[in-house]
């Protein structure tokens, strides 16, 4: 039977007799390879239980962690009996997920941060055997629209780990701010990390708050977050977004912008001085495609790769307007020199240059589904075979990429964009786009039905995308992300048939854990009074309107 209290859902769970009681004699033990997980579990349990939970000697009593290479890498077993608990994983990651399940078998108060008295720390006797459906179980976090301090990012990483998510796609640069220190180009943060004001609301009635906003992560901050995530088996995929969404970089270094742009008169002979963006949207200011600009971003990516040891490095590629390139004589000259037929091929050339740099360093390029555009008349792929596509404009990109032989991460906006409104209630704060309620998100299916089994193997998994134009505090992120992220985690972990009623029953209990962890989630009854934003306009859309727009913008890759 499946335990109704565990989330994400586990493959197999059977009950046994009795329970294991944590007390002053409980020890936690494991081999040298698992000392980090032993320390993590002790740190999770000691403050709230008040128990010493000293290191054990592996005699089978207490809580024993172990490895079994016969299990899948992220697979695990949890065996609980009155005499002790054994958690076994295929790798340290599997053991860690088993330890997370152990926490979920304890009372919800275990997720608090300090001593809780009057609770019996009892674990029901069970046998759990489990492994995930997908290897990429992720969340995308935009910290460029609204900066999130490192300690709040690490709190989100803890919440991801609690739900057995393993990939954080960290969106670090935008029109509205550059958030990562690059030592070779200090103006990216001294200038590009700050803006004069921020848009409040969405749509034509949006206003400005007139309040300066900014922040960035030093390289020491980045190393701390990366190490913190690694200890929780979360890999961070950094993104530096090019060639669009680059106003902050162009503000810091104007030579990166398009130089001679027709503005209703004679060409401007020098790059225009612009400002870090204060509005949300898509803007014409994009990078030029000089070799010097390519070299600049190669330097940037070299420093990024030194900070992030994971396989994938994000280069963005989304929503790049072509108007400046079309009207700029120098850009047109470069296109002729390079034998490029149009601006779509120019963008593919630019991304391809960075892809070569990433690939030469032994990494893999990660980009939005626009990187599939500009293939050329012969259909030649502009990216290396290891490039991976994030399909966000519906699932067209996923289908096209998989059929071309690229790996895919599914993150369609009409299923897993967690900045979209959660209901059609007028109380929803700053309602954006279509309604994505909990049941809508739970229906997310990362593998398109059109793919053959061989093509479907290219779908690595999926992620929820969190864009923060309208999330100006960690409290607001909580409200828009949870509990919908719980549904995403359930879908990406379990391959069991969908059962929304069963999920809802498990979630009802799981919300007690979110309460204990201090998560200010969206309630089924709607936002609480302080979660509303009365008088702040939104930009709601119907599904028909959104579908028509997506069909239009994906015509080049369909």
Are residues 161 and 49 part of one domain?
Answer: no
Question: Which CATH number fits the domain that encloses residue 114?
Answer: 3.30.379.10
Residue 530 lies in a domain: no
Q: How far apart are CA 483 and CA 510, in angstroms?
A: 9
Whether residue 144 is found in the same domain as residue 94: no
- Predicted confidence at residue 43, as pLDDT, reads 98
Whether residue 523 is contained in a domain is answered as no
Residue span of the structural domain in which 94 resides? 12-130
| Closest among 212, 551, 316, 311 to 414, alpha carbons compared | 551
Sign for the pseudo-dihedral over CA of 426, 430, 432, 435: negative
pLDDT for the residue numbered 263 = 44
Residue with tokens 């995530």: 229
Six token digits for residue 536: 């702040």
Q: Is residue 111 located within the same domain as residue 140?
A: no
Is 181 found in the same domain as 78?
no
In eight-state DSSP terms, residue 111 is G
Which helix (H) or strand (E) segment is 502 a member of?
helix 500-516
- Helix H or strand E segment including 8: none
What was the pLDDT predicted at 261?
Answer: 44
Q: What is the pLDDT of residue 272?
A: 80
Q: CB-based contacts of 157: which residues, under 8 Å, 6+ apart?
A: 168, 225, 228, 229, 232, 234
% helix / strand / coil in the chain, to the nearest 5? Answer: 35, 20, 45
147 and 84, same structural domain?
no
CA distance 548 to 125: 53
- pTM above 0.85? yes
**pLDDT given for residue 379 in this prediction:** 47
Give the domain-ending residue among 101, 130, 159.
130
Closest by CA to 433, choosing from 416, 447, 446, is: 416
Question: Is 43 inside any structural domain?
Answer: yes
Domain identity same for 384 and 446: yes
pLDDT (0 to 100) of residue 508: 97
In a domain, 300, yes or no: yes
What tens-digit pLDDT sequence spans the chain (558 residues)?
A: 345 589 999 999 999 999 999 999 999 999 999 999 999 999 999 999 999 999 998 787 899 999 999 999 999 999 999 999 999 999 999 999 999 999 999 999 999 999 999 999 999 999 999 999 999 999 999 999 999 999 999 999 999 999 999 999 999 999 999 999 999 999 999 999 999 999 999 999 999 999 999 999 999 999 999 999 999 999 999 999 999 999 999 999 999 999 844 444 555 556 789 999 999 999 999 999 999 999 999 999 999 999 999 999 999 999 999 999 999 999 999 999 999 999 999 999 999 999 999 999 999 999 999 999 987 544 455 689 999 999 999 999 999 999 999 999 999 999 999 999 999 999 999 999 999 999 999 999 999 999 999 999 999 999 999 999 999 999 999 999 999 999 999 999 999 999 999 999 999 999 999 999 999 999 999 999 999 999 999 999 999 999 999 999 999 886
The neighbouring-strand residues paired with 391 are 410
Same-domain check for residues 176 and 307: yes
**Which residue in 481, 532, 534 sits closest to 139, CA to CA?**
481
Please tell me the distance from the alpha carbon of residue 395 to that of residue 170, in angstroms, as a whole number: 22
Residue 543 Rama label (left phi>0; alpha psi -120 to 50; beta): alpha
Q: CATH number of the domain at 217, please.
A: 3.20.20.80
Q: What is the Cα–Cα distance from 234 to 236, expressed in whole angstroms?
A: 6
Domain co-membership, 109 together with 207: no
Residue 520 included in any domain: no
Where are the strands (E) in 192-255, listed by range? 194-195, 199-200, 207-208, 213-214, 235-242
Q: Of 478, 494, 510, which one is at a domain's C-terminal end?
A: 494
Pair (124, 149) in one structural domain: no
How many domains, the chain? Answer: 2
Residues 151 and 101 in one domain: no
Residue 59 shares a structural domain with residue 203? no
Q: How far apart are CA 240 and CA 246, in angstroms?
A: 9
| Residue 198 placed within a domain | yes
Residue 3 lies in a domain: no
Pair 82, 156 in one domain: no
**DSSP single-letter state for residue 338:** H
> Would you say 157 and 193 are in contact if contact means Cβ atoms under 8 Å apart?
no
Strand locations in 161-258 (E): 167-171, 173-174, 177-178, 194-195, 199-200, 207-208, 213-214, 235-242
Which domain-ending residue is among 130, 160, 186?
130
């Amino acid at each position: 039977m499946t335990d109704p209290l565990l989330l994400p859902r586990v493959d197999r769970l059977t009950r046994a007799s009795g329970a294991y009681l944590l007390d002053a004699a409980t020890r936690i033990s494991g081999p040298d390879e698992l000392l980090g997980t032993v320390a993590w579990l002790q740190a999770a349990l000691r403050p709230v239980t008040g128990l010493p939970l000293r290191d054990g000697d592996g005699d089978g009593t207490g809580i024993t962690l172990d490895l079994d290479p016969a299990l899948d890498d992220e697979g695990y077993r949890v065996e609980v009996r009155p005499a002790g608990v054994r958690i076994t994983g295929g790798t340290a990651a599997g053991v860690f997920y088993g330890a997370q399940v152990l926490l979920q078998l304890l009372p919800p108060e275990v997720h608090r941060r300090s001593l809780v008295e009057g609770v019996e720390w009892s674990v029901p006797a069970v046998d759990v055997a489990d492994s995930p459906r997908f290897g990429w179980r992720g969340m995308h976090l935009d910290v460029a629209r609204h900066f999130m301090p490192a300690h709040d990012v690490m709190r989100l990483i803890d919440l991801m780990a609690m739900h057995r998510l393993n990939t954080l796609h960290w969106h670090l640069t935008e029109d509205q701010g550059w958030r990562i220190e690059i030592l070779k180009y200090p103006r990216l943060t001294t200038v590009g990390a700050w803006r004069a004001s921020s848009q409040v609301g969405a749509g034509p009635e949006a206003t400005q708050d007139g309040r300066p906003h900014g922040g960035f992560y030093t390289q020491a901050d980045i190393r701390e977050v990366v190490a913190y995530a690694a200890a929780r088996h979360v890999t961070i995929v950094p993104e530096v977004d090019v060639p669009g969404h680059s106003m902050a970089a162009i503000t810091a270094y104007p030579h990166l912008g398009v130089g001679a742009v027709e503005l209703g008169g004679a060409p401007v002979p020098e790059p225009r001085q612009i400002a870090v963006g204060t509005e949300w949207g898509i803007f014409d200011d994009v990078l030029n495609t000089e070799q010097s600009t390519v070299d600049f971003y190669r330097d940037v990516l070299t420093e990024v790769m030194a900070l992030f040891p994971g396989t994938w490095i994000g280069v963005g590629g989304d929503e790049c307007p072509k108007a400046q390139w079309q009207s700029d004589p120098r850009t047109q000259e470069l296109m002729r020199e390079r034998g490029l037929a149009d601006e779509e091929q120019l963008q593919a050339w630019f991304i391809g240059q960075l892809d070569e740099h990433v690939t030469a360093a032994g990494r893999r390029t990660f980009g939005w589904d626009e990187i599939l555009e500009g293939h050329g008349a012969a259909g030649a792929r502009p990216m290396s075979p290891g490039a991976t596509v994030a399909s966000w404009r519906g699932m067209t990109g996923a289908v096209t990429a998989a059929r071309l032989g690229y790996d895919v991460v599914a993150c369609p906006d009409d299923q897993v964009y967690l900045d979209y409104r959660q209901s059609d209630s007028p109380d929803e704060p700053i309602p954006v786009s279509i309604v994505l309620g909990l049941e809508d998100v739970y229906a997310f299916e990362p593998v398109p039905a059109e793919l053959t089994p061989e093509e479907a193997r290219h779908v690595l998994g999926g992620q929820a995308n969190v864009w923060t134009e309208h999330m100006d505090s960690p409290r607001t992120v909580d409200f828009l992300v949870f509990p919908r992220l719980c549904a995403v985690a359930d879908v990406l972990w379990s391959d069991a048939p969908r059962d929304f009623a069963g999920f809802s029953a498990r979630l009802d209990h799981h919300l007690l854990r979110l309460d204990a962890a201090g998560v200010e989630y969206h309630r089924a009854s709607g936002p609480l009074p302080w979660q509303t934003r009365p008088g702040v306009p939104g930009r709601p859309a119907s599904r028909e309107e959104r579908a028509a727009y997506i069909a239009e913008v994906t015509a080049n890759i369909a």
